[in-house]
């Protein structure tokens, strides 16, 4: 394999050199000829940008491949099929094809690829052929759809090619996968330099269709595992076999697959064409939530890298662990998609009425709100995953036949007892958007109670023979983490993006009071985004709080530091957010603000201050602690 590793390194360098050299030439030529993409309402860029960057990517891949790797029928079919996809995209860039025409052309090329022998290995030939055609067509369109922001499609392609290369090298697969991934990575990297924000050139459909075709064929070849490999499909059939076959390529290509699913679902729900462009992609929604364009691209690349890395590692060590990781990833992706749709639900408001929008988001509302059946179904899956993961932790990632038999006869009891326990402790009565400490405390009690009941039942039924006590300890911990983590996801997502969106505000403010009042005020600021306030820091006369951080905002000093802070940070307003504060103290802060020529606002308390006896006339009522009582005569 060392020889193939060196060969792949040479191909990577050649592809990168050609791409990095040819791309600026294409930029110069297309600008001279006026072949640029002008800003449009349904596009994200806001200035004319050169087109046909895909020519550089294709040439950088094609030239070294033909010169050094054009050997055998496999190589000929590979380069022929991807070249056809490139030509389809090039024609579409020059003379825009109809969505139906482009799709039919992609379908024809996909059929040609399958006919040449590139297909998923899935037992039944007819099903394998159909799934492979669908897989290739879907991936080609996924990368085309993903090309919606500067550097995004190229960046994800770079991560994908690196992942395919690592998987092929670690599993000693066909060297053709390593070489193809190296060529794609080098070609894309040379283009990525000029395509990252702010982009000087776009790859166009010729680039995205070509990349999608290469990625699809590499993903198919990556499923051709050796029989002795750790993720061999021997002995598995049906859906389990299919999931195992596609586990690695799906994980490596998780970002384009997720974006395609999100766009297809939301556009269908809102009566829009899937093939029509728009600003409703994952990247666009993240920018609307407060991330910058470069940070959005880098974040999606990071997510793709982490998921690919975890999947590749697990694929070499534990089939069961791979299943658990895939299902957890699917759950995380589902909730992240729900969060994006809910937080950017007005993205189609210009073209649809309120009634249509509410109907389009009915499924999202079904999951977000109090729907006990869906919560119970999800908890059933999470309880099962936690129990299997507990065995994997106990037995170092492998579950033998004996322990698998124990799982089969004990898992139904585990699920039944725990779901009933969750219901009994009130976990299905609240909305997940408002999960707090009380809910987590109830979850702890439910998990402990259900675990003790399960252990007691197994003691009477099986005398605990063969069961490991450590497994049940692991199961209790993982159940709490899985169930509690999923319930906190929506809230965590929102708080993170609220903080990111806050960075774009332009009115610096100081908050007086690093206590409960300041905490509540800061939470309210981030919950309600109809303002332009940027919290710079807290002010508190308690010197012990100096340097502490509350929700990412630091305590900068006391009242004597206000003049310096106003000058340093350009403070515009000071908010006094102390729940029980004397009016004289408020006046002092207002005097300081007046001298500094900034405004000072007292945040109103939600509750009136505690009152003591204020009237002594026995004929009148006495107010005490907010309650009115008649004094006995």
Cβ atoms < 10 Å from Cβ of 431: 12
**Gyration radius of the chain's alpha carbons:** 30
DSSP class of residue 201? B
Cis amide prior to 520 (ω within 30 degrees): no
Residue 225's pLDDT is: 56
Same domain, 407 and 353: no
pLDDT tens per residue across span 414-461: 999 999 999 999 888 777 767 778 888 999 999 999 999 999 999 888
Domain closes at, from 344, 368, 392? 368
pLDDT tops 80 at residue 592 = yes
Same domain, 376 and 360: no
Same domain, 467 and 586: no
Residue 608 lies in a domain: no
- Return the higher-pLDDT residue of 277 and 192: 192
Among 170, 183, 212, which residue's Cα sits nearest to residue 308?
170
Residue 108 lies in a domain: yes
Same domain, 159 and 269: yes
Residue 309 lies in a domain: yes
Residue 619 lies in a domain: no
Same domain, 444 and 530: no
- Return the higher-pLDDT residue of 519 and 236: 519
The values of phi and psi at residue 29, to 5°, are: -65, -50
Q: What is the DSSP string of 13-71?
A: HHHHHHHHHHHHHHHHHHHHHT-EEPP-TTSS--S-EE--HHHHHHHHHHHHIIIII--
**How close are the terminal C-alpha atoms of the chain, in Å?**
100
pLDDT tens per residue across span 596-632: 999 999 988 665 555 444 444 444 444 343 444 444 4
Same domain, 417 and 311: no
In angstroms, rounded to a whole number, what is the distance separating the alpha carbons of residues 179 and 69? Answer: 9
In angstroms, rounded to a whole number, what is the distance separating the alpha carbons of residues 290 and 212? Answer: 29
Q: Please report, for residues 510, 537, 549, the alpha-carbon distance to residue 524 in angstroms, rounded to integers and kept in the order given.
A: 15, 16, 17
Mean per-residue pLDDT, 364-388: 76
Residue 606's pLDDT is: 60
- List strand residue ranges (DSSP E) for 287-393, in order: none
pLDDT tops 80 at residue 480 = yes
Among 138, 323, 333, which residue's Cα sits nearest to residue 244?
323
Among 336, 372, 97, which residue's Cα sits nearest to residue 209?
97
Residue with tokens 């969106």, as numbered in its chain: 501
Residue 514 lies in a domain: yes
Q: Which spans in 426-468 are helix H? A: 437-462
Mean per-residue pLDDT, 344-366: 55
Q: Which spans in 528-601 are helix H? A: 562-569, 583-596
pLDDT tops 70 at residue 365 = no
Residue 620 lies in a domain: no
Domain closes at, from 480, 499, 518? 499
CATH of the domain at 592: 3.40.50.720
Domain closes at, from 499, 534, 559? 499
Handedness of CA 158, 161, 166, 169 (dihedral sign): negative
Residue with tokens 């550097």, as numbered in its chain: 151
Which domain covers residue 427, as residue numbers? Answer: 372-499
Long-range contacts from 482-487, C-beta under 8 angstroms, 24+ separation: 482/328, 482/382, 482/383, 482/385, 482/386, 483/379, 483/382, 483/383, 483/386, 483/422, 483/427, 483/443, 483/447, 484/440, 484/443, 486/331, 486/335, 486/378, 486/382, 486/432, 487/432, 487/435, 487/439, 487/443
Handedness of CA 327, 156, 55, 215 (dihedral sign): negative
Q: Cα–chain-centroid distance for residue 545?
A: 35
Same domain, 463 and 383: yes
pTM: 0.81
Do 192 and 41 meet the contact criterion of CB atoms below 8 Å apart?
Answer: no
3-state helix, strand, coil in the chain (%, to 5): 65, 5, 25
8-21: burial string, b at 16+ Cβ within 10 Å, e else: beebbebbbebbbe
CA angle 310/173/209 to nearest 5° reads 75
In angstroms, rounded to a whole number, what is the distance separating the alpha carbons of residues 515 and 395? Answer: 47
Residue 161 lies in a domain: yes
pLDDT tens per residue across span 161-197: 999 999 888 887 778 899 999 999 999 999 999 999 8
Mean per-residue pLDDT, 404-423: 92
Number of domain units in the chain = 3
Q: Which two tokens stand for residue 291?
A: 């991330």
Same domain, 470 and 522: no
Residue 626 lies in a domain: no
Same domain, 408 and 480: yes
pLDDT tens per residue across span 15-71: 999 999 999 999 999 998 888 877 766 566 667 888 899 999 999 999 999 988 888
The answer for 608, left when phi > 0, alpha when psi is -120 to 50, beta otherwise, is beta
Residue 355's pLDDT is: 46
Cβ atoms < 10 Å from Cβ of 396: 8
Round the average pLDDT of the chain to a whole number and report it.
84
Same domain, 326 and 408: no
In angstroms, rounded to a whole number, what is the distance separating the alpha carbons of residues 524 and 305? Answer: 35
Do 559 and 541 meet the contact criterion of CB atoms below 8 Å apart?
Answer: yes
Handedness of CA 591, 592, 597, 600 (dihedral sign): negative
Same domain, 377 and 351: no
**Which residues, at least 6 apart from 364, have a Cβ–Cβ distance to it below 8 Å?**
338, 341, 342, 345
Same domain, 319 and 345: yes
Residue 356's pLDDT is: 46
Q: Which two tokens stand for residue 370?
A: 């109090």
């Amino acid at each position: 394999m060392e020889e193939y590793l060196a060969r792949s390194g040479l191909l990577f360098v050649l592809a990168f050199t050609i791409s990095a050299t040819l791309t600026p030439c294409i930029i110069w030529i297309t600008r001279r000829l006026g072949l640029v993409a002008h800003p449009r309402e349904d596009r994200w860029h806001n200035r004319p940008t050169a087109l046909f960057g895909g020519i550089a990517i294709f040439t950088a891949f094609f030239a070294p491949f033909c010169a050094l790797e054009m050997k055998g029928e496999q190589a000929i079919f590979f380069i022929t099929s991807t070249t056809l996809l490139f030509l389809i995209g090039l024609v579409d860039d020059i003379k825009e094809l109809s969505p139906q025409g482009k799709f039919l052309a992609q379908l024809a090329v996909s059929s040609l690829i399958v006919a040449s022998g590139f297909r998923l290995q899935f037992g039944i030939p007819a099903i394998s052929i159909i799934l492979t055609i669908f897989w290739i067509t879907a991936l080609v369109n996924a990368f085309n759809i993903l090309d919606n922001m500067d550097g995004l499609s190229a960046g994800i392609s770079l991560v994908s090619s690196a992942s395919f290369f690592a998987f092929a090298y670690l599993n000693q697969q066909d060297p053709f996968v390593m070489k193809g991934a190296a060529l794609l990575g080098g070609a894309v990297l040379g283009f990525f330099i000029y395509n990252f924000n702010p982009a000087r050139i776009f790859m166009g459909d010729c680039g995205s269709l070509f990349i999608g075709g290469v990625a699809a064929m590499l993903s198919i070849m990556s499923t051709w595992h050796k029989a002795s490999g750790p993720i061999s499909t021997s002995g598995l059939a049906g859906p389990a076999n299919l999931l195992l076959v596609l586990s690695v390529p799906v994980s490596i290509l998780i970002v384009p697959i997720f974006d395609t699913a999100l766009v297809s679902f939301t556009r269908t729900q809102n009566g829009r064409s899937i093939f029509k462009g728009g600003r409703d992609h994952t990247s666009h929604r993240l920018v609307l939530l407060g991330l910058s364009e470069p940070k959005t691209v880098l974040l999606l690349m990071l997510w793709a890298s982490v998921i690919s890395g975890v999947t590749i590692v697990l694929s070499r060590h534990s089939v069961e662990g791979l299943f658990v990781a895939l299902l957890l990833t699917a759950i995380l992706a589902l909730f992240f998609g729900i969060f994006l749709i809910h937080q950017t639900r007005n993205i189609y408001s210009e073209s649809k009425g309120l009634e249509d929008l509410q109907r389009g988001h009915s499924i999202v509302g079904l999951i977000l709100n109090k729907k006990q059946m869906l919560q119970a179904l999800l908890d059933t899956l999470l309880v099962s995953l936690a129990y299997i993961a507990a065995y994997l932790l106990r037995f170092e990632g492998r579950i033998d036949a004996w322990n698998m038999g124990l799982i089969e006869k004990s898992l139904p009891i585990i699920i039944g007892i725990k779901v009933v326990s969750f219901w009994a402790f009130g976990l299905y009565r609240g909305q997940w958007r408002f999960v707090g400490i009380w809910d987590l405390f109830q979850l702890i009690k439910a998990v402990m109670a259900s675990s003790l009941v399960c252990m007691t039942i197994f003691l009477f039924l099986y005398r605990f023979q063969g069961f490991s006590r450590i497994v049940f300890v692991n199961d209790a911990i993982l159940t709490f983490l899985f169930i509690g983590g999923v319930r906190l996801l929506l809230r965590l997502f929102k708080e993170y993006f609220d903080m990111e969106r806050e960075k774009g505000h332009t009115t610096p403010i100081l908050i007086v009071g690093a206590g409960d009042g300041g905490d509540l005020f800061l939470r309210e600021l981030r919950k309600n985004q109809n303002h332009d306030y940027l919290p710079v820091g807290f002010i508190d006369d308690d010197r012990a709080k100096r340097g502490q951080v509350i929700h990412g905002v630091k305590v900068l000093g006391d009242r004597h530091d206000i003049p310096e802070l106003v000058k340093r940070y350009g403070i515009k307003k000071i908010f006094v957010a102390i729940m029980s504060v004397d009016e004289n103290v408020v006046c002092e802060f207002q005097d300081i603000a007046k001298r500094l020529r900034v405004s000072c606002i007292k945040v109103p308390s939600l509750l009136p201050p505690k009152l003591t006896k204020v009237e002594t006339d026995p004929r009148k009522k006495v107010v005490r602690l907010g309650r009115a009582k008649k004094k006995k005569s």
